[in-house]
Structure 1
Amino acid sequence: MNLGTRKLLDRSFTALGIGSIVIMGLALLVVLFPIVTKGVGAVVFKGTIEHRKLLFTEFHHGAARELEKEVALSSNYRQKAFDMLASFDKELEQMPPERQDQYRDSYEQVKAALRALLGPLPGEEQPELARFRFGQTRWDKAEEKLHNLLYEQKWDYSNPDVIAKPYDVSRAASFAGTSLVRLFPYVEENIDKMMLPEWTFYWGFITDNSLDAHFFGGIWPEIQGTIFLAIGAMVFAFPLGVIAAVYFTEYARDGFLTSMLRSANSTLAGVPSIVFGLFGLAFFINTLHVSESKSVLAGSLTLAIMILPTIIRASEEAILSVPKTYKEASLGLGSTKWNTIVTVILPAAMPGILTGGVISLGRAAGETAPIIFTAAVSVGAAIGLGDVLSSPTPALSWNIYNLASEHEAAAEIRHVQYGMVLALVTVVLLLNLSAIILRARISKKLKG
């Protein structure tokens, strides 16, 4: 191969590599951009007076005096709307039965829409669930509920060749000639004064417990549970993985048993994660009884088994990359084999070993299937260190799936789902960053 051809190939491969990096970066940006923008919306948004009432009542956040003033101001405008309902109630009672039947269903829909917007109507009992005790806490949702109050959705089936199309019909037209017709323009014109929206930085989304199945509150239990599970998995897997790698590289002789162990390790690395979850349930919980049911301990052990092959393989490669002269020099000076491994080989291989640990830590924090059967619950409070041996925990990965696919009001809490995804990405990045910093410091110390 002549020099010109070699230069052309070098430049081609360089351009291909740079292009691949750019494409991966753009793909990552496409994925992360909606996660970041919509995830931030869980913390920074326009909150209504209902949100401030909720925070003060349920989480004791906010100033009582300022809240009282806002509630009084909002109540003045709301009362006029409630008076219109009371006036129509009296008017409805005086109507003939056939006219009452004409308005009854539509009137119940109006009250339901107003109840969803402002909370329970005067004279109604306070519901048990927080989602029904308060009106809309976010301004964007309040605007949606206002639209539902002003308009009724109907479907056009006139064209049999086209799928039915939805269209809106003004609710005010249904009450033409009655006193209730004044309600709709009044609410539309004064909705700002009824809800008092203002920009809010809700730091409690990170530090508060969830309320009413994540309709309100924060995700602290999920963040804490994810950290407990990831670190717990590393506590079990990292030392076992390094010890196994030392055995394979320094003590094991080539033979049938060693070959079988290496094959088993490689096979485990490709086993689907759901299988590890079922194994953890069957072995750690039902056989060893490390806990009576789901627990952080059982989940950590299951994750440890899952990431163990990666740590073993990465540690092997790191140990094998240490120059043989290091070992020969140590043994030549009279050091024992074990002392050489501990004081010479492992410190020199530690940056590579920690690299495998970083990769495994990120995988442990983001896995869902292994903890479904062993550790995760959909809703729960934050647990302490003393409870990790016996108590289950919420976790970000499982709760993201649960809220997005199984929650009864998944469309209503999209901001929580994106907020959890952003929190999970952040937790994984912070855990990895901590491990990378530790690796860098160890490398710097070894280089003197």
Structure 2
Amino acid sequence: MNIGTRKLLDRSFTAVGFTSIMLMALALLAVLVPIITGGIKALYFQGTVEHRTLLFNEFQRGDEAKLAVDAERSEAARKPVYEYLAAFDTELESLPFERKRALESEYHHVRDTLHELLGPLPGDTPPLLLRFQYGVTRWEKAEEELHNLLYMTKWDYSDPTKMATQYFAPRVDEFTGTSLEGLFGYVEEHLEEMLLPQPEFYWGFITDRSLDAHIFGGVWAEIQGTFYLAIGAMLFAFPLGVIAAIYFTEYAKDNYLTSMLRSANSTLAGVPSIVFGLFGLAFFINTMKVSESKSVLAGSLTLAIMILPTIIRAAEEAILSVPKTYREASLGLGATKWRTIMTVILPAALPGIITGGIISLGRAAGETAPIIFTAAVSVGATIGIADVFTEPTPALSWNIYNLASEHEAANEIRHVQYGMVMALISIVLLLNISAILLRARISQKLKG
């Protein structure tokens, strides 16, 4: 191959490599940007007086005197709304039957929307669920509800050659000439006075407990549960993985049994995670009876089995990368094989072993399928260390799926879903950064 062709190939490979890196970076940005922008909304947003009231009543957090002033201002602005409703209630009873029946359905919608905006209205039965005891807590949601109050969604079927087109008709037209007609303009003009929005940084999203199935509150139970499961998995898998790697590299002979064990380890690394979840349910819970039902212990053991092949392989490669001269020098000085392994080989291989372990820890923190049947619950409180042997726990990975696909108010709590995803990515990123820093520190010490 001549020099010109070689240079051309080198430049081509460089261009392909650079292009691949740029495409990966763009793909990463395409994934992370929506997560970050959506997750920030869980922490920083325009909060209403309803949100500040909720925080004070449920978490005893906030300035009571200032909250009382805001509540008084808000109530004064809401008073005309209640007067409009009371006047129309009286008028409705005196209307002809057909007119009354035509208005009742829309009036119920008006009251329901105002309930969403402002909380319980005068004359309503005191609600039991927390979500119905307060009005909207976020200003962007208030703007959506205002639109629902002011406009009706309708469809235009006038052109049979085209699909129906959506349009919005003013709801006030339905109540023209009634005592409720002025309500719509008043709410549109005075909504800010009724809800008093202001910028808020809600750090309690990280530290508070969940309220009413994540309609309100934070995700501390899920963060704590994720740490319990991931660290519990490492407590079981890391020592076993390192010991197995030492056996494979230092003691095992090259025979049929060793070949079978290596093949089994490689096969386990490729098994779908849902299979590990079913195995954990069948073996650890139903057979071994490590707990009566779901528990952090059963989930940690299941995750440990799942990440064990990765730890074994990473530890093997780290040990095999230690120069043979280290081993020969130690044995030549009279050290035993075990002493050589413990004092020479393992310290030299430690950066690679720890890196593999932390990467496995990040994987354990982000897995969903293995803990569905063994450890995770959709709603639950934080648990203590002593409860990990018997109690299940919420976890970020499972609750993200649950809130996004099965929650009855999934569309209303997108900020919680994105906030959980951002928290999970932050935890995994923190673990990986810790691996990089720890490896660099140990490598520096080994170099002297």
Q: TM-score, normalised by structure 2?
A: 0.98
Deviation, 1:434, is 2.0
Corresponding residue for 1:41? 41
How many residue pairs align between the two structures?
A: 448
Is the Cα contact below 8 Å between 1:117 and 1:145 reproduced in 2? yes
Cα offsets for 1:363-395 (capped at 9, x unmatched): 111110000001100011111111111111111
**Residues 241 and 311, structure 1, Cα contact 8 Å, conserved in 2:** yes
CA deviation digits over 1:199-245, x for unaligned, max 9?
A: 11000111001111111000111111111111111111111111001
In structure 1, what is the equivalent of residue 344 of structure 2? Answer: 344
Alignment of structure 1 residues 291-302 onto 2, 5 Å = 291-302=291-302
Instruction: Give the counterpart letter for 1:89 in structure 2.
Output: D
1:421 matched residue in structure 2: 421
CA deviation vs aligned residue, 1:385-420 (integer Å, no higher than 9, x gap): 111111111111100100001111111111111111
**Aligned partner of 1:164: which letter?**
A
Aligned residues of 1:281 and 1:374 also touching (Cα < 8 A): yes
Aligned to 1:177: 177
TM-score normalized with structure 1 length: 0.98
Shift, 1:115, TM fit? 0.9
Q: Give SS of 2:46's match.
A: strand
SS of the equivalent of 2:42 reads coil
Preserved CA contact (<8 Å) 2:403 2:417: yes
* Contact preservation (8 Å) 1:230, 1:361: yes
Alignment RMSD, CA only?
A: 1.1
The letter for the 2-side match of 1:15 is A
Partner of 1:2: 2
User: Whole-Å Cα distance in 2 between the matches of residues 189 and 436 of structure 1?
Assistant: 56
Determine the C-alpha separation between the residues in 2 that align with 1:160 and 1:89.
41
Q: Any idea what SS the aligned residue of 2:45 has?
A: strand
Q: Which moved more, 1:155-164 or 1:280-289?
A: 155-164
Cα distance in 1 for partners of 2:297, 2:340 equals: 34
Query: Which position in structure 1 is the counterpart of 2:273?
Result: 273
Unaligned 5+ segments in structure 1 are none
Equivalent residues of 2:118, 2:134 under 8 A apart = yes
Structure 2, unaligned runs of 5 or more: none
Is 1:103 equivalent to 2:107 in the alignment? Answer: no
Partner of 2:195: 195
> Is residue 358–residue 436 contact of structure 1 (8 Å, CA) maintained in 2?
no
| Alpha-carbon distance in 2 for matches of 1:204, 1:317 | 43
Deviations 1:174-201 (A, max 9, x none): 1111111010000000001001011110
Q: State the shift of 1:166 in Å.
A: 2.2
TM-superposed CA distance for 1:6, in Å, is: 2.4
Quote the Cα distance in structure 1 between the aligned partners of 2:165 and 2:205.
Answer: 38
Question: Partner residue of 1:286?
Answer: 286
How many angstroms apart in 2 are the aligned matches of 1:354 and 1:18?
A: 30
Give SS of 1:286's match: helix
Number of the residue aligned with 2:93: 93
Q: Residue 382 of structure 1 aligns with which residue?
A: 382
CA offset at residue 161 of structure 1? 4.0
Output the CA distance in 2 between the equivalents of 1:85 and 1:238. Answer: 66
Residue 358 (structure 1) shift: 2.2
Q: Shift of the alpha carbon at 1:109? A: 1.3
The aligned counterpart of 2:392 is 392
**Deviation larger for 433-442 or 82-91:** 433-442
2:71 matches 1:67? no
SS of aligned partner of 1:388: helix
Secondary structure, aligned partner of 2:415: helix
State the distance in 2 between where 1:436 and 1:204 align. Answer: 30
Q: Which residue of 2 aligns with 1:54?
A: 54
Question: What amino acid is the match of 2:159?
Answer: N
Q: Report if the CA contact (8 A) 2:351-2:438 is conserved.
A: no
User: 2:347 aligns to what SS in structure 1?
Assistant: helix
Q: How does 1:224-235 map to 2 (within 5 A)?
A: 224-235=224-235
